[in-house]
């Protein structure tokens, strides 16, 4: 089953969701490696999700508007729809990762976030391929590996600087 969707909208959906999974998990894991304060970890993640969702939507609008303003432009997507897709896909990805943090003890926050992020990245790659390309396992593993490596940077930075702050 392959869907037809404007490529700009697909890019917005996948980019927003994937970026939220990686960024929010990086914040949760990085902050939790540096501090032992669950409310601070949750606050940091909520601020990240809020600011980044709006920033990503604004960036989506402005960058696509620049493309639309080019001579001989062939883009026919709606700038507002693309921005809203980016905003809501970022919110969805961010809340996918932070939701379990509310329910697990502090010592399991990092592990739970990583598991949710990696599982969500794999599923995102799987669904993308199932709906659009057909290369299911390649897409799922690619999304997991690339997003997973970026996610682990948050843990590295948090661990590195946790002793110096």
Instruction: Summarize pLDDT for 127-138 with one digit per residue, the tens.
Output: 888 877 778 899
Q: Which domain holds residue 37?
A: 7-68+75-161
In-domain check, residue 2: no
Residue 51 inside a domain? The answer is: yes
Across the chain, mean pLDDT equals 87
Q: How many domains does the chain have?
A: 1
Instruction: Check if the beta carbon of residue 118 is closer than 8 Å to that of residue 91.
Output: no
What pTM was computed for the model? 0.86
Q: What is the pLDDT of residues 63-116, one digit of tens each?
A: 989 888 888 877 778 899 999 999 999 999 999 999 999 999 999 998 999 999
Q: What is the pLDDT of residue 156?
A: 76
Note whether residue 1 is domain-resident.
no
The mean-pLDDT minimum among 21-25, 50-54, 65-69, 158-162 falls in 158-162
DSSP calls for the chain: ------HHHHHHHHHHHHHHHHHHHHHHHHHHHH---HHHHHHHHHHHHHHHHHHHHHHHHHHHHHHHTSTT------HHHHHHHHHHHHHHHHHHHHGGGGTS-GGGHHHHHHHHHHHHHHHHHHHHIIIIIS-HHHHHHHHHHHHHHHHHHHHHHHHHHTTT-
Q: What is the pLDDT of residues 97-112, one digit of tens each?
A: 999 999 999 999 989 9
Within a domain: 25: yes
pLDDT band at 164 (very low <50, low <70, confident <90, very high): low
Q: Is position 135 within any domain? A: yes
In a domain, 38, yes or no: yes
Question: Does pLDDT of 148 surpass 90?
Answer: no
């Amino acid at each position: 089953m392959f869907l037809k969707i404007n490529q700009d909208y697909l890019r917005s959906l996948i980019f927003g969701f994937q970026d939220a999974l990686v960024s929010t998990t990086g914040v949760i894991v990085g902050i939790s490696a540096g501090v032992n304060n669950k409310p601070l970890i949750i606050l940091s993640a909520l601020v990240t999700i809020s600011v980044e969702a709006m920033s990503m939507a604004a960036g989506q609008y402005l960058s696509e508007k620049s493309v639309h303003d080019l001579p001989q432009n062939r883009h026919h997507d709606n700038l507002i729809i693309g921005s809203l897709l980016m905003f809501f896909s970022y919110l969805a990805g961010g809340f996918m990762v932070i939701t379990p943090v509310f329910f697990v003890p502090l010592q399991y926050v990092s592990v739970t976030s990583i598991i949710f992020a990696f599982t969500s990245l794999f599923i995102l790659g799987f669904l993308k391929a199932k709906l659009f390309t057909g290369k299911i396992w390649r897409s799922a593993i690619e999304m997991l590996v690339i997003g997973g490596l970026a996610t682990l940077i948050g843990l590295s930075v948090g661990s590195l600087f946790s002793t110096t702050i």
